[in-house]
Amino acid sequence: MTSSSEDDFGRDLYSIPSSSNWFQWDEIHGTERRELPDFFDGSAASRNVRVYKEYRDFIINKFREDPSRRLTFTEVRKSLIGDVGTLRKVFLFLERWGLINFGVSDGRPRPTEEVGPRVVVEEPGAGVQVMPASSKLASGRSVAAATAAGAGETGFRLPPLSSYSDVFGDWAPGKGPVCAVCGDQCVSGRHEPLMEGGFVVCLKCSKTENEIEGKSADDNSDRVDGNANHATGAWTDAETLLLLEAVLKHGDDWDLIAQHVRTKNRLDCIARLIQLPFGDHMLGTFSGKYDAKNSGNQATNTKAIQHASSELLPEPKTDGHVHNDVNEKVEEESIPVHPSKRRHIQAIANATDSLMKQVALLSTVAGPHVAATAAEAAVTALSDENPWAGEVFNIDEDEARKKRKSFPTNNEPKSDVKVEDQDVEMHKQTDTPVLSEKNFSATAFQTKAAIATALGAAAARAKLLADQEGREMELLVASIIEAQMRKIQYKIKHFKELEFIMEKEYTLIQQMKESLLDKWVEVIQQIFQAGIPRWKDNVFPKSLWNHGS
Amino acid sequence: MKSLPPGASKAPIKFRMPTAENLIPIRLDIEIDGQRYKDAFTWNPNDPDSEVVSFAKRTVKDLKLPPTFMTQIAQSIQTQLAEFRSYEGQDMHIKEKIVPLKIDLRVNNIVIRDQFLWDVSNFENDPEEFARTLCEDLNIGDPEVGPAIAVAIREQLYEVAAQSVSSARETRVGKKGRRGIENVTNSKTGNSALDLLKLFGSKGSVIRKRKEWYLYEPIVDLLSNEEVGALDAREELSAR
């Protein structure tokens, strides 16, 4: 190294990663001795400390001639004498430590392990500045974070193959945030915000991180279990093939399958297989287990519905205190599949209670006329169905009819009274048969009648609502059309005005033209009379314009 | 990192390729009934010999060559393997030796010429790695170029290594009064090793003179299709 080149470096500052701040022009650091021992153990004549220093200094100087350009090994080795293998080692060593090609962008993947806290160290003698941070890497990170926050579609890259499609359709393409680690689309619920500058890391990545850190993957696998229906975006073709192969070979021994796939854990494999369009067929006999797991909610629902429907037939209890409302009934439906016996009975009672209550409520909402008609229709239908029911209802039919007649006059202004009346009516309907010592089927019929009434009332109410909504919609559409019409009319008016103005202007211009022509002729005549041989160009237009205006 | 001793000169080691991986270069040039098959690749001498036949079968099938090629290919590979094995087991006396290697290759329509120094005694050197870096640095996209360069390097290294065995043999023989042969072999190859002391000693500089840079710089030419055709024709002629 010549002294002049050293002066050059005294003036310029170069960025190197803070991890390489051991570097000194005039010294050999322990790192260099450790990583390139060939030069320092005196084993070969062509490799010694002096040669190393010359290599190193030359390569670094060469890079710093133009720090924005990437220095290649091929460029370096033409100017250095020595074994290309050894030269390459030195070159790679310097590149790895960021002493050359640091912060040069050429699209090649760069090792990012140097990210970390950085220190500013000013080395006046050596002319090397250690930058606080690699701005390039930092910006790259922030971009990733920005994309993650902005939910960009950039990270989404699933080929449109059928085997890639998620049959459960849980994810929405382009809606989930982008994982900052793997760049994949994160499915909602499968990512968790790690406290690393606020960018999102998807579960898969965070898991691999955890595994690397040696944490037990159990708590993660629990989470995966919960989200087993979600898409795992990062299954490659090869992995899927391995999985299918393993399933064919090992059947449902998921531990063996996971071992075969290697890159994925047991739960991932299960989740992936059931996501495949044909996964169920492959699983064959043991698919039922997973079906139940998947459609667990559905199963519970259907069972609950069965309960509810069977609850309606047994004898109802029509005691006075009603403490269950509609919401509670819904909750009741979603109780565990096999409840204890006591709860079972309670459920029936509650269902009947709330059924009566609901009937009352619905008929109140629908109005007394509608409710009465619905009840009558229900009773008639039941009578047709079974003569027994007719007898049951005949007892108080007259009474009910009377009541119906008196309804319109009594109950129009106060809605509270209506409820009471309805309740009374219902109670009557239910109470009378009990007193008349008919067997329990009477109450069953009455329950049926009540249900039918409620349904009828609800339907009527719904129709009313629908009619109202329809009217409202018509009204709105009409108003929209009207507004549009008005807009068009305004426009037409505007255009007419414009046309009028244009016509006016046109006539004006025509007049102007005529007057101009007259003037022109006049002037020419004057010129002839005056005998002026020629005129100055600039005079005429001016005067003409003046006349014109 | 290989655990091989860097100073291979001290303890004589058994013959092998002086590279990280003990792969030997194989070159095939077979012509049957006007049809010519040329190829170059590396072969692991530790592979079982049955591989040779299956390789030949596969090659003939893949390239749709007439079946007569199969025996020829297998035979050629076997011969070259046998040559290598004849050296195996012998001691190799490689002192630290840096030799200039020359590359002058045409792969498809790319011509590449290059010269660089190679330490034959450095058993960590990896021709494939070097060739890959070279292609990356020169932006050569053709995937055939890198392996071709690596094979060319290996061929030259193989030659040097074989010499080190035979020259050791010659020196033994030479003591009995036949010194002439050694000189002949040395001058024939022309792979004169560098004077290490002069270059790497305390006086010399390892930075090459600027005017010599061009000698050690890779030159890549892209040929047009016509040029490729002309070169092919010429090679055809010279081969006959």
Chain B, 110 to 169: residues with Cβ < 8 Å from chain A are 116-119, 121-122, 124-126, 129-130, 133-134, 136-138
Distance CA A374, CA A452 (A): 8
ipTM: 0.79
Subunit contact B125:A84, Cβ cutoff 8 A: yes
CB-CB: which of B6, B137, B197 is closest to A38? B6
Would you give per-residue pLDDT tens digits along chain A (549 residues)? 444 444 444 455 677 777 788 888 888 888 888 888 888 887 777 788 888 888 888 888 888 888 888 888 888 888 888 888 888 888 988 888 888 888 776 545 444 334 434 444 444 444 444 444 444 444 444 444 443 333 334 444 444 444 444 444 444 444 444 444 444 444 444 444 444 444 444 444 444 444 444 444 344 444 444 444 444 457 788 888 888 888 888 877 788 888 888 787 888 888 887 777 665 555 554 444 444 444 444 444 444 444 444 444 444 444 444 444 444 444 444 444 444 444 444 444 455 556 666 666 666 666 667 677 777 777 777 777 666 655 656 655 555 555 544 444 444 444 444 444 454 455 545 444 444 445 566 677 777 778 888 888 888 888 889 999 999 999 999 999 999 999 999 999 999 999 999 999 999 999 999 999 999 999 999 988 887 666 555 555 555 555 544
CB-CB: which of A38, A54, A73 is closest to B206? A54
pLDDT of A487 reads 96
Subunit contact A84:B202, Cβ cutoff 8 A: no
Smallest CA–CA separation between B17 and chain A, in Å? Answer: 15
Phi, psi dihedral angles at B220 (to 5 degrees): -115, 130
Subunit contact A85:B7, Cβ cutoff 8 A: no
Stronger pLDDT, A137 or B207, i.e. the higher one: B207
Smallest CA–CA separation between B162 and chain A, in Å? Answer: 20
Partner B contacted by A72 (CB < 8 A):
yes
Alpha helix stretches (DSSP H) within B88-144: 127-137
Subunit contact A82:B98, Cβ cutoff 8 A: yes
A49: chain B residues, CB-CB within 8 Å: none
Which helix (H) or strand (E) segment holds residue B39: the answer is: strand B35-43
Ranges A231-235, B31-35, B93-97, most confident = B31-35
Subunit contact B6:A44, Cβ cutoff 8 A: yes
Smallest CA–CA separation between A69 and chain B, in Å? Answer: 13
Alpha helix stretches (DSSP H) within B94-239: 127-137, 145-174, 180-189, 196-200, 225-239
Partner A contacted by B196 (CB < 8 A):
yes
Q: Whats the size of chain B, residue-wise? A: 240
Subunit contact A83:B117, Cβ cutoff 8 A: yes
Choose, out of A36, A38, A83, A95, the residue to mutate when testing the contact with B (most B CBs < 10 Å). Answer: A83
Chain A, 85 to 104: residues with Cβ < 8 Å from chain B are 85-86, 88
Hey, what's the torsion of the CAs at A199, A205, A208, A214, to 10 degrees?
20
Subunit contact B98:A55, Cβ cutoff 8 A: no
Q: What does the DSSP 8-state code read for residue A154?
A: T
CB-CB: which of B118, B210, B217 is closest to A83? B118
Cα angle A119, A120, A126 (rounded to 5 degrees) comes to 125
Stronger pLDDT, B232 or A168, i.e. the higher one: B232
Q: How many Cβ pairs closer than 8 A exist between chain A and B?
A: 93
Q: Are B110 and B121 in contact (CB under 8 A)?
A: no
In order of A300, A373, A400, the CA distances from A348 in angstroms are 17, 28, 28
Partner A contacted by B21 (CB < 8 A):
no
Subunit contact B208:A46, Cβ cutoff 8 A: no
Subunit contact A84:B116, Cβ cutoff 8 A: yes
A86: chain B residues, CB-CB within 8 Å: 119, 122
Q: Which residue in B31, B231, B26, B196 sits closest to B122, CA to CA?
A: B196
Partner B contacted by A13 (CB < 8 A):
no
Smallest CA–CA separation between B137 and chain A, in Å? Answer: 6
Distance CA B56, CA B148 (A): 19
Q: Are A410 and A417 in contact (CB under 8 A)?
A: yes
A90: chain B residues, CB-CB within 8 Å: none
The pLDDT-based confidence of B56 (bands split at 50, 70, 90) is very high
**How remote is the C-alpha of B17 from its chain's centroid?**
10
Q: What does the DSSP 8-state code read for residue A190?
A: S
In chain B, whose CA is at the least distance from the CA of A50?
Answer: B202
Partner B contacted by A2 (CB < 8 A):
no
In chain A, whose CA is at the least distance from the CA of B122?
Answer: A85
List own/partner pairs for A437-443 with CB under 8 A and 24 or more apart: A438/A392, A440/A315, A441/A388, A442/A388, A442/A392, A443/A315, A443/A316, A443/A318
Subunit contact A73:B137, Cβ cutoff 8 A: yes
Stronger pLDDT, B202 or A136, i.e. the higher one: B202
Q: Which residue in B98, B86, B72, B124 sits closest to B192, CA to CA?
A: B98
Q: How many CA atoms does the CB half-sphere of A536 hold within 13 Å? A: 4
Subunit contact A74:B137, Cβ cutoff 8 A: yes
Subunit contact A81:B117, Cβ cutoff 8 A: yes
Partner B contacted by A38 (CB < 8 A):
yes
Subunit contact A81:B208, Cβ cutoff 8 A: yes
